[in-house]
Amino acid sequence: MFQCQIELLINVLPENSEADYITVAKYDFEPPDLQVGKEVWVHWEVWNKLYSLKCKVTGRKNVICSKGTHPDYKDKYVFLLRIFLETEDREDKLQEIKENLKKHNPHLK
């Protein structure tokens, strides 16, 4: 089975020294031409509010999950393509998204 996961860099916890990526989309196909350096717009709804963010592809990672290791497909072998994005602008919107995520997910506080 193939899955493509689009992930946006968003550090929800400021003290966290590692990068936090949140999945904004999943597909069962590889979106065409999403190579490192490519500019892309993400239209993402977070708790009933739509955000439009200009992003750039910063990385790609191929992951092979043996049967039982993928959280969504325990009974299948999965080839996972992870595509990483970072916002190019709208830091104010990113901050608003972070606050909204924290508000609706108490474990992030």
List, as one string, the DSSP characters of 47-74: TTEEEEEEEEEEEEEEEEE-TT-SSS-T
SS3 97: helix
* Amino acid occupying residue 97: I
For residue 40, what pLDDT is reported? 93
78-87/2-9 β-pairing:
parallel
pLDDT of residue 95: 74
Say if CB 18 and CB 95 are below 8 A apart. no
The per-residue pLDDT for 7 is: 93
Query: Which residues contact residue 36 at a Cβ distance below 8 angstroms, ignoring those fewer than 6 apart?
Result: 57, 58, 59, 60
User: So what's the pLDDT on residue 45?
Assistant: 84
* Structure confidence at residue 73 (pLDDT): 86
pLDDT at 91 over 80: no
Mean pLDDT over each residue of the chain, to the nearest integer: 84
pLDDT of residue 102 exceeding 80: no
